[in-house]
A = this chain, B = another copy of it.
Amino acid sequence: DLPFFLIAGPCQLESLDHARMLAERIQAACAPTKTPFVFKASYDKANRSSLGSKRGLGIDEGLSILSKIRAEFDIPVLTDVHLPDHCAPAAEAVDVLQIPAFLCRQTDLLLAAGETGAVLNVKKGQFLAPWDMENVAAKIASTGNQRILLCDRGTSFGYNTLVSDFRGLPIMARTGCPVVFDATHSVQQPGGQGATSGGQREFAPVLARAAVAVGVSGLFIETHEDPDNAPSDGPNMIPIEDMAPLLSTLARLDRVVKDG
């Protein structure tokens, strides 16, 4: 019943300076509530809706920036991996490897990630039930790596819509793995704008409050200083200036639930 930790950062890594600025501002937002902070950013958006969307800086420059953030801020860093042979180099630069939702059933990726010994944050596929994640965790655990986080980022509900089933959080917790709720991807509207995904940014704090009241080990929130002009996931990111007041509310809800 530890206070929740926060995985936060921009969707896409833009530059070292940009990453520094956001890490600093998120760290400041976390300070009043002493919320443990893991910096998150992606070096490659490997599954954009359409080819015209920006993919990112690539693995070499990306990992270089992330390892600098880790060193400068002395905080854990997370990034997502998409191919088995990216796991080892990524695990040298960051502390947490994230398995994207679409890839959470790809055995080779799970095993390669598990074998690095890094902490893994596995997003539940939008096409899976919460209880299906037990088999996913077991694949990873077969490598001897038990440092597994399971993360809910919404479930397919009709077309171009996700729904967050909060029964899923305690169901995934039955695996013994810490459970994380991804409040910003859960309000995504996949493919909802034709060639890009839409989002309902206004509901991200709503779902974050609900998840904390249900009881979670961690929250995942993408944030940006100018979401409307971010290179990806702008429609669902929370503006950085909203983070501190949101964390204040969430920390108080967390204490109510965890203090019983």
A residues with CB within 8 A of B: 46-51, 55, 82-84, 102-103, 105-108, 125-129, 131-132, 135, 138-139, 142, 155-161, 163-167, 169-170, 187, 190-191, 195, 200, 202-203, 206-207, 209-215, 249, 252-253, 256-257, 260
Contact = CB atoms under 8 A, between A and B. Distances in A.
Q: Which 7 A-B pairs have the closest CB atoms?
A: A158-B158, A213-B213, A129-B159, A210-B210, A156-B156, A47-B105, A209-B213
Nearest to A108: B46
Contact of A207 (B46, B167, B187): B167
B139 A167 contact: no
Q: Determine how many copies of this chain the complex contains.
A: 4
17 contacts: A48-B105, A49-B105, A51-B135, A51-B139, A83-B108, A102-B106, A126-B127, A128-B190, A155-B156, A156-B156, A157-B159, A157-B165, A158-B161, A159-B161, A206-B215, A210-B210, A253-B253
A32 B155 CA distance: 38
Contacts of A200: 167
A173 to B, nearest CB: 11
A249 B253 contact: no
Given A83-B83, A132-B191, A200-B167, A213 B107 contact: no
Contacts of A211: 210
